[in-house]
Structure 1
Amino acid sequence: MTSYQKEIVKINHHGREIHGVSYMPTRKKKCPVVIFSHGFNGTNADFAMNSDFLAKNDVGAFCFDFCGGSIHSKSDLKTEEMSIFTEKEDLSAVMETIKNWGNVDSDNIFLFGGSQGGLVSSLVAEEYIEEIKGLLLLFPALCIAEDWNKRFPTLSVIPDIHELWGVRLGRIFFESIHDYDVFDHIGQFDKNVLIFHGDQDEIVPLEYGKKAEMLYPHARMEVFSGEGHGFSEAGNKKVAEMTYEFVKANI
């Protein structure tokens, strides 16, 4: 069991600050790193268990709060200012920062995204094909644009503020994905992709995971029986173990 150091890290970009937490093994050797991106209204704490598991096994981890990504976020911006594309900027800034750390093996950086963070991670992976070693997607919300375009089919019906699950979203969130086809913007990433999806997911239908699996040149989907959008403790433990195995197999 490797000892590791957990530290708060602040990253500034586009005039805003990201609150992040790094989990880095204390050994002298450079280590691979997994960057975790949380889902809608989540925080860095959502992947604390996964990060702890990796760091104890010689793999670094970094979790952060998307700016405006949650009512509990410790990063800047209001939820009304957040969009898929501000989150994309956040993750890119995290990537740019971490690849330069002295204790990180910059040839072995992995992205892991859950739900909305999975959509964001898949978009960022397309722009960092050379620099990202592998992509892990936990019930990725590849349906977001399609769902909202059905709800708000024209720009004129988009409200200034729309509340979803207690989170206030601004016009920017919906306008920025208007007429946006996610599947036109992913699938070029040619390294290995592992998709975790529950067969009882009522938020992101399994079909979206299957479509992504077909689109990527090297993707595999692991279907979790009985799991929904948000896994059980046993499901999450299996995801953590499979993430470690994926990293080991791809470095």
Structure 2
Amino acid sequence: MNDYITNTVKIAHRGRNIFGISYMPKHEKKCPVVIFSHGYNGTNADFTMHAEYLASHGVGAYCFDFCGGSVNSKSDSKTTEMTLFTEKEDLCTVLDHVKTWENVDADHIFLFGGSQGGLVTALTAEERMDDVKGVLLLYPAFCIPDQWNERFPTLESIPDTQELWGMTLGRAFFETIHGYDVFEHVGGYNKNVLIFHGDQDAVVALEYGEKASKLYPRGRIEIFPGEGHGFTEAGNRRVAEMTHEFVKANI
């Protein structure tokens, strides 16, 4: 029998609904919470195991679908309308909502993001430093603007739509990151940051994670030998355990 409760939680925002699932311990006292942000074309289910692990160890979790963030998203909006910055807006909305939950310790809310969700999480933490107790980034895709700006070096070269990995992006995705230098927009967050990165990552080079870890005043990187972009079950289990340890160490 589970010692936590799961609930579907929909959050209305600017005419669109954000779909997510909360995992909360059954005890009555307020608990810390980790908000999970999935990667490109992912869903809330990508972090089910992590959330269940935390909730069974007294830490709440909320996993949600970004609006337009996936062809399988249960949140509103089209993939062609999604940008890094609409996702940041979604995450800020989720953060505001979770803070108000009765069983949440609002002083101990943590953000966890994977891949593109890691980049979005990092950008959000810069703006919401007072509301975020700590940050965890799983192979954060700080490379996204660099890669697309190399492919579409001028605004004129940006297409109206572009298909990537089974998902169609719209022009706005590329326009909003044109000439954008990620490392000028992260690194100011001054609380603890833990980055998980595999040394065999073929999508986000390890150098990006290493550079980010040095930018943060209290950044640390944990390198996983043999892991790529998308960890093995064993790797994910270790990430879940380390996330729990990180939360406990920061409350």
TM-score interval (norm. to shorter): over 0.9
Alignment deviations for residues 210-235 of structure 1 (CA, whole Å, 9 cap, x no partner):
11011000011000000000000000
Equivalent position of 1:212 in the other structure = 212
CA contact 1:37–1:112 (8 Å) conserved in 2: yes
Q: C-alpha displacement at 1:2, in angstroms?
A: 7.0
**TM-score, normalization by structure 2:** 0.99
For 1:124-203, what aligned pairs fall within 5 Å after superposition?
A: 124-203=124-203
Distance in 2 between residues matched to 1:181 and 1:97, nearest whole Å: 30
Task: Check whether the contact 1:41–1:72 (CA below 8 A) recurs between aligned residues.
Answer: yes
Identify unmatched segments of 5+ residues in structure 1: none
Q: Distance in 1 between matches of 2:234 and 2:26?
A: 28
1:226 match: 226
Equivalence for 2:60: 60
CA distance in 1, matches of 2:11, 2:123: 20
User: Does the 8 Å contact 1:21/1:62 carry over to 2?
Assistant: yes
1:246 and 1:98 map into 2 onto residues whose CA distance is 20
Aligned with 1:42: secondary structure? Answer: coil
Mapped partners of 2:19, 2:219: distance in 1: 31
**Normalising by structure 1, what TM-score?**
0.99
Describe the SS at the equivalent of 2:133.
Answer: strand
Q: Match of 1:236?
A: 236
Q: How many residues are matched?
A: 251
Runs (4+) of structure 1 moved beyond 2 Å? none
- Give the superposition deviation at 1:166: 1.1
Name the structure 1 match of 2:74.
74
**Residue aligned with 1:234, SS:** helix
- Measure how far apart 1:244 and its partner are: 0.2
1:117 partnered with 2:127: no
Distance 1:92 1:103 in 2: 19
Where 1:130 maps in the other structure, the secondary structure is: helix
Per the TM alignment, residue 65 of structure 1 is displaced from its structure 2 partner at its CA by 0.3
Q: State the Cα distance separating 1:42 from its structure 2 match.
A: 0.3
Alignment partner of 2:46: what SS?
Answer: helix
After superposition, the CA RMSD in angstroms is 0.9
AA of the residue aligned to 2:82: M
Distance (Å, rounded) in 2 between the aligned partners of 1:102 and 1:131: 16
Give the counterpart letter for 2:211 in structure 1. K
For residues 121 and 195 of structure 2, the distance between their equivalents in structure 1, rounded to whole angstroms, comes to 12
Q: CA deviation at 1:247?
A: 0.3
Instruction: String of CA shifts for 1:11-65, please: whole Å, max 9, x gaps.
Output: 0112111001000111110000000000000000000000000000000000000
SS in 1 for 2:68: coil
Cα contact 1:2–1:55 (8 A) shared by 2: no
Identity of aligned residues (%): 67
1:250 and 1:2 mapped to 2: Cα distance? Answer: 25
